[in-house]
Amino acid sequence: MIALIYAHPYPARSRANRVLLEAARGVPSVIVRSLYDNYPDFEIDVAAERKLLLESQLIVWQHPLMWYSAPALQKLWFDTVLANGWATGEGGTALEGKTCLWVTTTGAASAGYTPGGVHGFPFAAFVPVMEMTARYCGMHWLPPLVVHGAHQIADAALQQHAAQYRQRLLSFAAEAAGG
């Protein structure tokens, strides 16, 4: 099973993320958990979230990038669900051996992510926080899927990303079923 943890405060207002999500939703073993729809008051049901993670081999974090990081509710999800003693620390082995995929969109074009650009660093400089969150829990880290310039991106380019996303999920599911 694939757990898709989706964190967008206004899903209906999104373009890029909605297209990506629709592509992923079609994959048979994907379960989408939209955090802002399920927990508008930020009262995350930790037990339910953990149950879903335990049943899944692949965990996908999909959200728009906000302030170089995840939206607030996704961050709260990290803090409460991936707690010490469950996902980390003594006895915290629940996620060991699982695989993690980060799917995110940025507002600025990739050109902004250069030493001279508006964001001052290459995008790779913003990845380690997410990557280490997964690896600290003992998960395998897949190369992230990043859609830059989500405001202006042409439909065709966006559809290409979506198809690639779908393909990666499908092949993971097939691999999991076969192996």
Partner 1 sequence: MADLLHDSLVYLGAAVVCVPIAKRSGLGSVLGYLIAGWLIGPWGLKLIGEVESTLHFAEFGVVLMLFLIGLELELKRLVEMRRAVFGGGSLQMTACGTVLALGLMALGLTWQAAAAAGMALALSSTAIAVQTMNERNLMTAPVGHSSFAVLLFQDIAAIPLIALVPFLGAAGGEGGAGWLGAAKAIAAIAGVVVIGRFLTRPLMRLIAKSEVREIFTAFALLLVIGIAQLMAGAGLSMALGAFLAGVLLASSEYRHALESDIAPFKGLLLGLFFIAVGMSIDFGEVIARPGLLTLLVVGLLTIKATVLALIAPRLEVPRSERWLFAALLAQAGEFAFVVFGVAREAQVLARDWEGLLTAAVALSMAATPLLLIAFDRLTSRRAQTQREADTIDDDSAPVIIAGMGRYGQIVGRVLWAQGIHITVLDHDPDQIDTLRRFGYKVFYGDATRLDLLTAAGAAKAKLLVVAIDDVADSLALVDLAQESFPNLAIVARARNVRHWLELADRGVTAIEREAFESSLKSARAALTVLGVEPYEAREIAEAFRRQNVITLNALLPHFRDEAKTVAIARSGREELEENLRRDREARQQARGSGWH
Binding site for partner 1 (CB under 8 A): 8-17, 36-38, 40-41, 64, 66, 105-107, 150-151
**Is the alpha carbon torsion for 7, 97, 138, 48 positive or negative?**
positive
Smaller CB distance to partner 1: residue 126 or 136?
A: 126
Say which residue the tokens 């955090």 belong to: 35
Smaller CB distance to partner 1: residue 17 or 99?
A: 17
Provide, rounded to whole angstroms, the least separation between the CB of residue 84 and partner 1: 22
* Distance set, CA 131 to CA 71, 80, 124, 136 (Å): 16, 18, 11, 8
| Number of helices (H), then strands (E), in the chain | 6, 6
155: Cβ–Cβ under 8 A, 6 or more apart, which residues?
A: none
Smaller CB distance to partner 1: residue 48 or 174?
A: 48
Provide, rounded to whole angstroms, the least separation between the CB of residue 103 and partner 1: 13
Smaller CB distance to partner 1: residue 41 or 90?
A: 41
Provide, rounded to whole angstroms, the least separation between the CB of residue 20 and partner 1: 10
